[in-house]
């Protein structure tokens, strides 16, 4: 008994948290209750019931089906319902008159055929891509038509039936719209506005999170790369939000579609407010978020640059990231406050920091590709230019450079074998690579041995570890390139926000 009372308490706590998270949910629920109550009163009181008769129950049905969360969606549904009912009513009256004038035998046949045709045509039309948003309207046409024509046939006087029903539906629709608009209205436009601002912050957060983790991560806390592909990444809340933003790409569009139905209100007091621009900005932002996803992919990739190489450009990467995130946040803030300000300075800063990162990479590019720590290159048939440098370049670059010239004019095409490339790594690094290597071939488990046991694929075989070596170092280059590409895409984002702020007449912020 105590156990059940405990789980009951848990349940109440969870519901309470759910309500507190967004009080609008509770308000919405009470609004629906209020709307159905109001429309039921029409029937519970005698006077309106006697005027409209039994058809008044249709107003209840209308409220229950029409009432949506936002004002715009309710208007949209109401429009579908109203136009659908009207068309169906007119059609039903016309067909009923024709059928009636054709005599008693032909009447049910004509009615049956008309129902079949209407069912087929409306179902076909709602599959047509550009008509899909009006799917509900076609359903309404179909069942309203059937109801009116069939009950008209059985009870006589289809016009009276149709009119009574239209009145009831109109009453239901008006009650639903009034309650929705007058009692704590929830505007789709407002939600769209906030959703977009949130998305800006989510992208900025997850960029920073991802980069920080990349630089902080010394590779020790990755027990199982293989299982991490589809994992939840519990320690990366911002990434999770970013991914769910990408997955719910249709949300902005749905909200924008609803917002178009809303009259000017509150801050959005301009007629024909450019809601579709919000969708466009969201699309460009998503385009930037794809780069963050790619960065995250490198962070959790099997092929990893070692920690001491990663932190080589630590300062430059961090600075560029911080500036880029600040620019994204500042753009989001401008939209939030509905103001327009020149982003020249921030954009310049981001470009400057990115250039600095590139310059640093340019200067120390040999780190990214050539092999270091090679004591005896004598037995190589070919050797790329290499340098012996410490990796902590950010702190002190003043190290000796030991360049070695190739021993001979080399004429091997790139796919020629390198038979005797010796394992020359220092121990810890060697170990890292080996572990990463094993992981890459970890599936299916029985295959690892077969694969390793084969020893070589004809003349092309070289020890795998060497082969992966340069890629491991290039992983850092990939990371920074993706970061730079993210910055390059920010230009488009700034442009999209600029277009939005012009069309939406945001206030110009004096600097």
Does 79 bind a second copy (CB under 8 A)? Our answer is no
Distance, first Cα to last Cα, the chain: 66
List binders of a second copy among 351-370 (CB under 8 A).
Answer: 351-352, 355-356, 358-366, 368-370
Binding string, 117-136, against a second copy, x = CB under 8 A? xxxxxxxx--xx--------
Mark the segment that binds a second copy (CB under 8 A) among 200-208, 259-267, 330-338, 475-483.
Answer: 475-483
Mark the segment that binds a second copy (CB under 8 A) among 231-239, 264-272, 285-293, 321-329.
Answer: 285-293
Does 456 bind a second copy (CB under 8 A)? Our answer is no
Tokens 């319902």 -> residue: 81
The only residue of 336, 391, 466, 503 in contact with a second copy, by rule CB under 8 A: 466
Does 146 bind a second copy (CB under 8 A)? Our answer is yes
Which residue, 200 or 313, is less far from a second copy as judged by CB?
A: 313
Strands 507-508 and 339-340: parallel
Tokens of 144: 């309203």
Q: How far apart are CA 49 and CA 52, in angstroms?
A: 5
Burial pattern 495-505, b for ≥16 Cβ within 10 A else e, equals ebbbebbeebe
Q: How many helices (H) and strands (E) does the chain have?
A: 19, 2
Alpha-carbon distances of 358 from 202, 364, 405, 475, rounded to whole Å: 26, 10, 27, 15
Mark the segment that binds a second copy (CB under 8 A) among 5-13, 113-121, 180-188, 194-202.
Answer: 113-121
The only residue of 444, 453, 455, 459 in contact with a second copy, by rule CB under 8 A: 444
Tokens of 56: 């008044």
Enumerate long-range contacts of 36-41, CB under 8 Å, 24 or more apart.
Answer: 36/60, 36/63, 36/64, 38/175, 38/179, 39/63, 39/171, 39/172, 39/175
The only residue of 209, 316, 323, 334 in contact with a second copy, by rule CB under 8 A: 316
The only residue of 163, 181, 183, 347 in contact with a second copy, by rule CB under 8 A: 347
The only residue of 190, 205, 208, 291 in contact with a second copy, by rule CB under 8 A: 291
Does 182 bind a second copy (CB under 8 A)? Our answer is no
Residue 391 main-chain phi, psi, to 5 deg: -90, -15
Tokens 């999170």 -> residue: 209
Does 269 bind a second copy (CB under 8 A)? Our answer is no
The only residue of 12, 230, 272, 511 in contact with a second copy, by rule CB under 8 A: 230
Q: What is the number of other CB atoms lying within 10 angstroms of the CB of residue 508?
A: 11
Which residue, 82 or 371, is less far from a second copy as judged by CB?
A: 371
Which residue, 144 or 268, is less far from a second copy as judged by CB?
A: 144
Tokens of 409: 């004019």
Provide the CB-side half-sphere exposure for 91 (13 A, CA). Answer: 20
Mark the segment that binds a second copy (CB under 8 A) among 76-84, 264-272, 377-385, 426-434.
Answer: 377-385
Least separation, in Å, of the C-beta of 349 and a second copy?
9
The only residue of 8, 37, 216, 269 in contact with a second copy, by rule CB under 8 A: 37
Least separation, in Å, of the C-beta of 452 and a second copy?
11
| 311 and 222 Cβ atoms separated by less than 8 Å | no
Q: How far apart are CA 3 and CA 5, in angstroms?
A: 5
Does 64 bind a second copy (CB under 8 A)? Our answer is yes
Number of chain residues interacting with a second copy (CB under 8 A): 151
| 422 and 381 Cβ atoms separated by less than 8 Å | no
Does 47 bind a second copy (CB under 8 A)? Our answer is no
Which residue, 226 or 509, is less far from a second copy as judged by CB?
A: 226
Does 105 bind a second copy (CB under 8 A)? Our answer is no
List binders of a second copy among 5-34 (CB under 8 A).
Answer: 18, 25-26, 28-34
The only residue of 181, 240, 470, 503 in contact with a second copy, by rule CB under 8 A: 470
Burial pattern 77-88, b for ≥16 Cβ within 10 A else e, equals bbebbbebbbeb
**Is 424 buried (19+), middle (13-18) or exposed (0-12) by CB count in 10 A?**
middle
Least separation, in Å, of the C-beta of 191 and a second copy?
14
Q: How far apart are CA 278 and CA 120, in angstroms?
A: 37
- Three-state secondary-structure class, residue 265: strand
Does 233 bind a second copy (CB under 8 A)? Our answer is no
Least separation, in Å, of the C-beta of 184 and a second copy?
14
As a whole number of Å, the CA-based R_g of the chain is 34
Binding string, 186-225, against a second copy, x = CB under 8 A? ----------------------------------------
The only residue of 395, 420, 431, 452 in contact with a second copy, by rule CB under 8 A: 395
Which residue, 270 or 365, is less far from a second copy as judged by CB?
A: 365
């Amino acid at each position: 008994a105590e156990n059940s009372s405990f789980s009951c308490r848990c349940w109440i706590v969870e519901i309470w948290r759910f309500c507190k998270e967004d009080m609008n949910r509770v308000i919405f629920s009470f609004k629906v209750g209020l709307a159905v109550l109001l429309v039921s009163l029409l029937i519970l009181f005698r006077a309106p019931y006697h005027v409209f008769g039994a058809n008044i129950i249709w107003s209840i049905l209308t409220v229950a089906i029409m009432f949506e969360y936002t004002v715009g969606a309710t208007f949209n549904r109401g429009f579908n319902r109203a136009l659908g009912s009207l068309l169906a009513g007119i059609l039903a009256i016309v067909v009923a008159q024709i059928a009636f004038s054709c005599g008693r035998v032909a009447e049910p046949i004509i009615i049956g055929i008309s129902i079949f045709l209407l069912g087929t045509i409306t179902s076909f039309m709602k599959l047509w891509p550009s008509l899909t948003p009006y799917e509900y309207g076609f359903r309404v046409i179909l069942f309203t038509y059937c109801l009116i024509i069939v009950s008209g046939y059985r009870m006589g006087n289809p016009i009276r039936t149709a009119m009574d029903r239209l009145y009831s539906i109109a009453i239901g629709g008006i009650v639903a719209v009034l309650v929705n608009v007058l009692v704590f209205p929830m505007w789709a436009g407002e939600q769209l506005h906030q959703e977009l601002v949130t998305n800006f912050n989510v992208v900025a957060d997850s960029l920073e999170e991802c980069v920080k983790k990349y630089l902080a991560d010394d590779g020790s806390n990755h027990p199982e790369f293989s299982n991490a592909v589809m994992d939840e990444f519990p320690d990366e809340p911002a990434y999770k939000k970013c991914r769910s933003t990408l997955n719910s790409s249709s949300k902005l569009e749905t909200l924008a579609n609803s917002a178009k139905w809303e009259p000017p209100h509150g801050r959005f007091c301009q007629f024909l407010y450019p809601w579709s621009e919000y969708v466009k900005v969201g699309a460009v932002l998503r385009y930037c978020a794809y780069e963050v996803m790619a960065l995250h992919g490198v962070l959790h990739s099997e092929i990893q640059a070692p920690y001491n190489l990663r932190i080589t450009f630590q300062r430059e990467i961090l600075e560029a990231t911080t500036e880029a995130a600040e620019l994204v946040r500042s753009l989001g803030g401008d939209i939030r406050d509905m103001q327009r300000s020149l982003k020249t300075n921030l954009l310049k800063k981001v470009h400057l920091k990115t250039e600095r990162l590139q310059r640093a990479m340019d200067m120390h590019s040999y780190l990214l590709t050539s092999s270091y720590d090679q004591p005896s290159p004598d037995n190589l048939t070919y050797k790329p230019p290499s340098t012996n440098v410490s990796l902590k370049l950010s702190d002190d670059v003043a190290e000796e450079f030991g360049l070695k010239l190739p021993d001979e004019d080399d004429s091997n095409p790139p796919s020629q074998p390198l038979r005797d490339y010796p394992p020359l790594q220092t121990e810890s690094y060697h170990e890292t690579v080996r572990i990463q290597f094993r992981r890459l071939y970890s599936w299916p488990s029985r295959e690892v041995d077969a694969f390793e046991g084969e020893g070589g694929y004809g003349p092309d075989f070289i020890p795998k570890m060497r082969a992966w070596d340069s890629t491991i170092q290039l992983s850092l280059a990939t990371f920074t390139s993706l970061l730079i590409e993210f910055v390059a895409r920010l230009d488009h984002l700034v442009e999209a926000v600029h277009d939005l702020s012009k069309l939406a007449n945001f206030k110009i912020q004096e600097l």
